[in-house]
Structure 1
């Protein structure tokens, strides 16, 4: 049975996200929905411009008719995703052209005005594919052990009276949390759908060569398990004993600043985090995950890995407030409050309200410390790693020890503590 979208869905849409896993988002987000004339398949595309930084783009191919000969069997309504992320990770990440996807979703339900897609966790073909750009394809960025809509679900709803779209993408949730919000955006129509030729069909792959003037060059996958074709942005430099201070605005909308210096001699990271304080109960937090982006399945058993990407699980957290001081915690849940923990060693901690109304928390920590090191004696638990990422949050806490819910004032990103210029845009500097 063929899939046919309502004509009203087709067009170019724009709006500012009301919720984003990157944190508050102030610049317009654009989504287009078009139909490929020859195949009648559909193509969803968006541009990722976060706080004025062009981070790349994404494509979502949606099949209109079944085809058992392509991609281990295609059903009408199957969706495959391919995309490019820049200035967010230590390398540009994208999918290649064969096979034509790395995550497949299926159409879960359709009404006159809405579509819902869910992650195809039962897609045995996807799990068995092994080509040079894949290493462990089952290490998807969803909570380990989830299935279908509990892993991820995407609902797009059209309001015919206002001619608007609402896009709501959810990921896995933790204990007592059915889902974790990923991206919510209300969209207004700003133009017609793009016009595509016959070269774009379901199964044509994810070759974006030319669109951003950056040719896609396949490279050999590292044994560490990175599953993407990569263009290395980072130039490996000889380590020196010089200590350089870096300062970046991790999120402009919430004005969250991260300042640090790394000393190879003492193997210490000296950190200051700050954000505007609405009251003395305001808290700011920073979480460290040495293996948060790892595709090594053994780390999933140690509460960290690519599975934790969009959640909190596996993070050693430092949180500070005027009322509660500086304390260390650990996120043992994918979503939900962290617990008090002394696994992460910190020294020289301080917290203060500055004259310009900012809460400023400072501390130092060893490069190797935290739950992964203390509990599992993992010698590769250094935060100076290609697999390292951070999570951050801001909140208000009347009970100084509870670290209350942060709503949308949180986010995550890869970080190279030694060479942040490899993935942080110049405009992000303090």
Structure 2
């Protein structure tokens, strides 16, 4: 097939089985996320339908390519390498900044994986304080499973309170909740506006809003709803706010009314404020206590949950069928990206213990492979759900085993390096973060 044929196939998949609602923006140069509102799950769905309906297949590694921005980029993945190189280039994505000098260099590429944590770490970085220890809690951060055996990144059973308390212990400064769940939404918004009005230069006011209702903001997951923390600031124009979104590495102006509309959604409720001027560097003993809490060495909670969800659908529990498995894993991409927090753990220990940069690079590759395998699991499970072919269960199970091995080896090496470095520090008693399982 030619590039044009593949683009036509993509259009047929979107307009046909996927019944996509934004086809008016479709063109070879249309951006998958910003123009067509295709999140990572919908892009997997395109891959799946291209395979099942048009016989177009790609290798596992291609599914996670980060340089795929436009429809043309997507089509090029199915072309022989020479044909793709000779095709007219589509507009390139803005390149990410790379760190220089490896893990021991002056700059280290900062990965964002959790909005609550990223807002607080933004304050630490602006104070020149090492924020990486606070990311230790993210690789196995708690999540939920619904009564319908659906994976949930945001759930009433999941609380940010343990992270807040650990932050106060590590960096010895208060992080104060301002949202009062016993009061009405209007009353809480009034509190929020008052905090913004009185905000000092070094203060951050975090608010949870539904990012789905801010279409101006890039949202590669495009979940609906999508609870998310960011930090607004007032400007000289009363109708425009300046928004800091550390987790997505974005800041810029957005209309006040649109932000407040996203805050007012019934799907969200929460907020905190802090003064970064009070933040202090974490003591080694507290870092030791925190990592000992966060590094769950004997199992991998997310993999365990995926096994449980798969079994529930395979066995038909609670009236489920294999076709329900797609919705059961809908939010996996939001949780899978948290595994990149392991890089913060390795970066901290490798710098503290002055370990070889080459080995750090190796484990970064292994972390990337873990994330890739989680994406492969998702794709294989979607294929199982759409086809109902029970022979594919073995493929999903095999990939789960592979991801389990990846993560276990990552934890084992990180734990060994951490134990060697921390042998001289006393681990003091501290509250324990709860993880699923």
TM over 0.5: no
Higher relative contact order (CA 8 A, sep 6+): 2
The TM-score bracket by the shorter chain reads under 0.3
> Which is richer in helix?
2
With the length of structure 2 as denominator, give the TM-score of the two structures. Answer: 0.26
